[in-house]
Amino acid sequence: MQANIVLLPGDGIGPEVVAEGRQVLEAIAKSGGHTFNFTEHLIGGIAIDEQDTALSDETLEACRAADAVLLGAVGGPKWDDPSAAVRPEQGLLRLRQELGLYANLRPVKIFPELVDSSPIRADRLKDVDMLFVRELTGGIYFGQPRLRETVDGKTRAVDTMVYTDDEVRRVVRLAFQLAQKRRKKVTSVDKANVLETSRLWRTVAAEVATDFPDVTLENQLVDSATMRLIQNPASMDVIVTSNMFGDILTDEASVLAGSLGMSPSASLSEGKLGLYEPIHGSAPDIASKGIANPIGTIMSVAMLLRNSLGLEAEAKVVEQAVARALESGARTADLGGSHSTSEMGDLIRQEMAG
C-alpha cells in the first residue's frame, strides 16, 4: 500500500523518539513492499521560535491531507512563562480540534518483564489490560467562555466545562465497540454527584449501553476511580471519560506500566486519519542526551499501522518485537538500564526482522 505520513517531532526528546519511530515504519515498508511518504513539519515551541505560531496553517493542512500523523512531544521550560501570548500546547490542542480527533485511545498493559520497575506490587499488576478512551475535543479544554478579567478590583478567571449529548454519544459508542472486541466491560468515569455535564454523560452512557447488550456498563466517580486504578487495576477493561478526567487518570495509569516512557496513544477522528504520539511529553531534563525510551513512540507506530493504515499483522510484528527486546533484557535509563534510544530502537528492529 501507499501512505502519506506527517512527522511532527516537536520539542525536547520528541525528535529523538520520532526518528526511531520513522525507522520502524521504514522497516515495515521495506519488508512488506509498502510505500510510505514522509514529510516533516514544526509544532510546539520550535514552531513558535521559527514561525511565531505553535501550529502554522501549512502544517495543519499537511496533517489534514495525510493518512496519519506521528508526533513526538510539545513544550519545555523555554516557553513556560504563564504570561506568554502563545504556548506550545496550543499547537497540539488546535490540531486535535481542527482534525476532529475526538477519541484518545491510551492502552495500559504491563509487560511481565517490567513488573519490578513498577511502584505497584506485582500481585496487583497481574492481568492488567486496560484501554482508556478519553474524549479529546470537548469539555473544559475547549468550552467558552474562557477569560481573565478584573471586576471591582478582583481578578477572576473563568474556564467552562461543556458537553453536548452528541459529543458524549460518539465517544461512548466507540468505547462500547472497542469493548466488544475485548473483555466486554465499559467503566464510565464521571463526577455525577456534583457536575451537570457528568449527569448528562451518565444518561447518554446508559442510552448507548442499550445498543450493546453483550457489554456491561458500570459508572464510577472519578475520585474513587483514582483509588481503584492503584488497588484493583485488573478489574477494569475499557474506561471512557471526559477530556480533563482522562488527562489525569491516564498519567496515573501509565505509572503502573513501570515508566511513562512505555505508553502509546492514538487520537482518532470519524475517518481514517489519526494522530499517534507517546504520552510522555517533552522531558526537557533528558533532551538531546540520546537516552529517552523510544518504546512509547514505537508502540504508537503499531497503533498507527493498525488504526489508520489497516495493517493489523504489521502492528503485531512491531508489538511482539518490543516484547522480545524487553525479554532479552534491553532497558533504557527510565527502566533502570543503560541502553541508549538508538540501541533500543535497533534491537526492536532486529527483532522485527525475526
The residue among 284 and 337 lying less far from ligand IPM, judged by its C-beta, is 284
Q: How far is the CB of 255 from Mg ion (least distance, A)?
A: 13
Among 26, 40, 89, 129, binds ligand IPM (CB under 6 A): 89
Q: Is 285 a catalytic residue?
A: no
Residue 75: Cβ within 10 Å count: 23
Q: Which is nearer to Mg ion, 173 or 280 (CB)?
A: 280
Residues linked to residue 37 through DSSP beta bridges, in sequence order: 4
Active-site residue, selected from the candidate residues 52, 116, 211, 223: 223
Query: Which among 138, 132, 225 is positioned nearest to 186, based on CA atoms?
Result: 132
251 carries an active-site annotation: yes
Q: Does 289 participate in catalysis according to the annotation? A: no
Residue 80 bears catalytic tag:
no
What is the distance between the alpha carbons of residues 113 and 109, in angstroms, rounded to a whole number? 12
What is the DSSP code string of 256-291?
HTS-GGG-EEEEE-SSS-EEEEESS---GGGTTTT-
Give the range of 86-94, 113-121, 124-132, 156-164 binding ligand IPM by CB under 6 A.
86-94
Residues in contact with ligand IPM, shown as a per-residue x/- string from 45 to 84 under the rule CB under 6 A: ------------------------------x---------
Cβ-based nearer residue to ligand IPM, 93 or 195: 93
By rule CB under 6 A, what string of x and - marks binding of each residue 222-251 to ligand IPM?
-------------------------x----
Nearest Cα neighbor of 110 from 353, 343, 341, 299 is 299
Q: Cell 496513544 belongs to which residue?
A: 265
Question: Of these partners, ligand IPM, Mg ion, none, which one is at the site of residue 139 (CB under 5 to 8 Å by kind)?
Answer: none
**Which of these is catalytic: 191, 237, 276, 334?**
191
Q: Which of the following is catalytic: 102, 141, 163, 276?
A: 141
Positive or negative: CA dihedral 288, 292, 296, 301: positive
Q: Which of 92, 101, 128, 322 binds ligand IPM (CB under 6 A)?
A: 92
- DSSP labels, 39-71: EE---THHHHHHHSSSS-HHHHHHHHHSSEEEE
- Interacting partner of 62 out of Mg ion, ligand IPM, none (Cβ under 5 to 8 A depending on kind): none
Question: How many whole angstroms separate alpha carbon 335 and alpha carbon 343?
Answer: 14
Closest CB to Mg ion among residues 247, 351:
247
Does residue 133 interact with ligand IPM by CB under 6 A? no
Instruction: Choose between 36 and 141: whose C-beta lies nearer to ligand IPM.
Output: 141
Among this protein's residues, is 237 annotated catalytic? Answer: no
Are 189 and 150 in contact, with CB atoms under 8 Å apart? Answer: no
Nearest residue (CB) to ligand IPM, 130 versus 215: 130
- How would you label 199-209 residue by residue, b for 16+ Cβ within 10 Å and e otherwise? ebbbebbeebb
Do 185 and 216 contact (CB within 8 A), yes or no? yes
Q: Is 11 in the site for ligand IPM (CB under 6 A)?
A: no
Report in angstroms the alpha-carbon separations of 140 from 40, 137, 253. Answer: 31, 9, 21
**103 forms part of the interface with ligand IPM (CB under 6 A):** no
Q: Using CB under 6 A as the criterion, which residues of the chain lie in contact with ligand IPM when the complex forms? A: 75, 89, 92-93, 247
Catalytic residues: 141, 191, 223, 247, 251
